[in-house]
Amino acid sequence: MLTREQWRELEVSHEQRADAATEAHRARRSDRVAHPVEDFLFTYYPFRPALLRRWHPGPGVVLEDAAGLPRAGWRHYRGVGHDVELDVAGYLASRGATVDFVRGLLTATAARPAQLGCFGLHEWAMVYRQTAEEVRHREWPLRLGAGGTDALVEGMQIRCTHFDAFRFYTPPARSLNLLQPTRETQVALEQPGCLHAGMDLYKWAMKLAPAVPGDLVLDCFDHARAIRELDMRASPYDLSALGYEPVRIETPAGRAEYAAAQRGFAERGQALRDRLVHAIDALRTPAPA
């Protein structure tokens, strides 16, 4: 049981943290200004800042004197007298298949060793042999030019394990990948060194809301944002005008820099993965009598 004073303090703190994390994006959206790095978390992942701003306590927590507030009408909550809590039984009846899939994916990913030899080549494969008009972020120059970009893709082994990155490869790049990931092989292939698997922890946290505590959701968001920065610093684009120093994976030093950062993200991602699995397991833990 959290008193109204206690949970309101947690809620306000969460809202302030979320507002600070999305402030720049909301300002750019108002001014209709695109950002090739940070917009990804709001365009690829279909979660509005308002949803990120919602604080949830997670299962097994009763919020005192919340019955008369908007939260009582949110999906998967229920009133208990004057109080409100997550309707665990109703949530599992509605979302049980998603819960089971996410837990299976997270635990399978966590059980594998991190692979650190991809060097972010998925972003290069997404522009391989494209014309200037076809390139996704065509407002930004390619650091090595089109010819240099294509030569790097052809000269290095691409070994992406993540289907949702692989599916954006250009058609001629797909056959160059060591693996051919599919949606059906997602659980069998994802591994903790993958930057996209790390960013997706935010996706799974949001998809499982309101069963995931708010602090964990924001921790996953911050992790995804930091990964996205590395992802694009190591990409073929020259984003130095935005203050992003490139990670030059075309050089031995750049590849070493990338792998070291990737290792750190893998370790932090495993900790978040464990916390997500713990939150999922709390859904099926019987409440004390």
The predicted pLDDT at position 77 comes to 97
> What is the overall mean pLDDT for the chain?
96
State phi, psi for 80 to the nearest 5 degrees: -130, 90
Segment 97-117 mean pLDDT: 97
Entry pTM: 0.95
Domain ranges of the chain: 4-283
- pLDDT category at 59 given cuts 50, 70, 90 is very high
- pLDDT category at 289 given cuts 50, 70, 90 is very low
pLDDT digit string, tens, across residues 255-266:
999 999 999 999
Rg (CA), the chain: 21
> At residue 287, does pLDDT exceed 60?
no
The predicted pLDDT at position 285 comes to 80
The predicted pLDDT at position 282 comes to 95
Distance CA(152)–CA(189), nearest Å, equals 25
pLDDT digit string, tens, across residues 150-171:
999 999 999 999 999 999 999 9
The predicted pLDDT at position 286 comes to 57
The predicted pLDDT at position 66 comes to 96
With pLDDT > 90 as the criterion, what percentage of the chain qualifies?
A: 97
Measured on CA atoms in the order 86, 91, 96, 99, is the torsion positive or negative? negative
Q: How many CA atoms lie within 13 A of 37 on its CB side?
A: 24
pLDDT digit string, tens, across residues 159-216:
999 999 999 999 999 999 999 999 999 999 999 999 999 999 999 999 999 999 999 9
Which two three-digit tokens encode residue 94?
A: 């509605």
Measured on CA atoms in the order 137, 139, 144, 149, is the torsion positive or negative? positive
Which two three-digit tokens encode residue 284?
A: 């099926």
Distance CA(200)–CA(164), nearest Å, equals 10
